[in-house]
Amino acid sequence: MPFSQTRKSFSEAIKWPYHRLRGLGRIERNDVVVFNFPAGDTVLLENQAVSYYDVLRSYEESFGKEAARAEIAKKYTVVSRPVDKRENYIKRCVALPGDSLEIRDGRVFVDGVPQEEIPGLQYMHLVQTRAPFSQYAIDNLGISEYSGNGSVYYMYLTDETARKVEALDNVVSIRRYVYAPNTDVFPNWEEPRWSQDNYGPIRVPQRGATVRLTSENLPLYRRIIETYEGHTLELDGDTIRIDGAPAEEYTFAMDYYWMMGDNRHNSADSRFWGFVPEDHIVGKASFVWLSLDANKKFPANIRWERLFRKVR
């Protein structure tokens, strides 16, 4: 509710099964899409800026899987939210239901074919300089996301801007940052396997498709089975039980999508929380109605040149 961080803006006194009307069109690959945040089903009221599941993993490392949720409940008020009350996210759909997706050195491949060129893709670059950049130089280059000062900067740059930075007299070197395998990326395996820049391959689930389940690949599909499609799931050794019955395979009830931001090194997207279910889709984005620079204060932070421009 307005003026409150803890009161809900909706009532749960009456509940109906969740349903969305059929859309007027279909999502195509590389469309920019608005959707409800899949990992936003559970929220810490006193710290809503962080993902509950990221906090949970951190607590599991400290207290163990059994005690983690109880420890979180001691510190925070934990609430759940229906799909349509979660934050709206906007990302590019890079893979459709049934697609095979892989990321190699930061580049997306779908069914083995590289993604078409998308103007404005950004990656983090490590920039070493002889002297600090002036704010005028940073603004003149159109760089809005960066950190560091003095001799070393981390800057989010397009290929074009990176070439302009490299040509400056006070720049000693510039290189694109490449993430090593880590446990931050979905499905958060205990041992690092994939990274933001090298990921997969994985198959995006499609309605009616059946996948063979193993204890090895279960982390990829567990949230789909339990949270999105509403089944109970237990893992006893290598035996998987769905709704109490042993299961060696699973047939998906919904289509799913893989969403990624064009700022590839500064985007909370499917690489961190996985597949986006079809019932979370709001629609295709049409135009930009507001764009703000996080490094500036109002009203200087308004990017007037981006307002009401068509989303491509």
H or E element, residue 154: strand 152-157
pLDDT digit string (tens) for the chain, length 312 residues: 566 666 666 666 677 776 666 766 789 999 999 999 999 889 888 888 888 998 998 999 899 888 999 999 999 988 888 887 788 899 999 999 999 999 999 999 999 999 988 988 999 999 999 999 998 899 899 898 899 878 999 999 999 999 999 999 999 999 999 999 999 999 999 899 999 999 999 999 999 999 999 989 999 999 999 999 999 999 988 899 999 999 999 999 999 999 999 999 999 999 999 999 999 999 887 666 566 666 677 777 777 776 766 666
Cβ burial 272-294 (10 Å sphere, 16+ → b, else e): bbbbbbbebbeebbeeeeeeeee
Residue 63 phi, psi (nearest 5): -115, -10
pTM given for the model: 0.87
Contact 80, 266 (CB under 8 A): no
What was the pLDDT predicted at 81?
Answer: 84
Cβ burial 236-268 (10 Å sphere, 16+ → b, else e): eeeebebeeeebeebebbbbbbbbbbebbbebe
H or E element, residue 114: strand 113-114
What was the pLDDT predicted at 199?
Answer: 98
What was the pLDDT predicted at 238?
Answer: 85
What was the pLDDT predicted at 135?
Answer: 87
What was the pLDDT predicted at 303?
Answer: 72
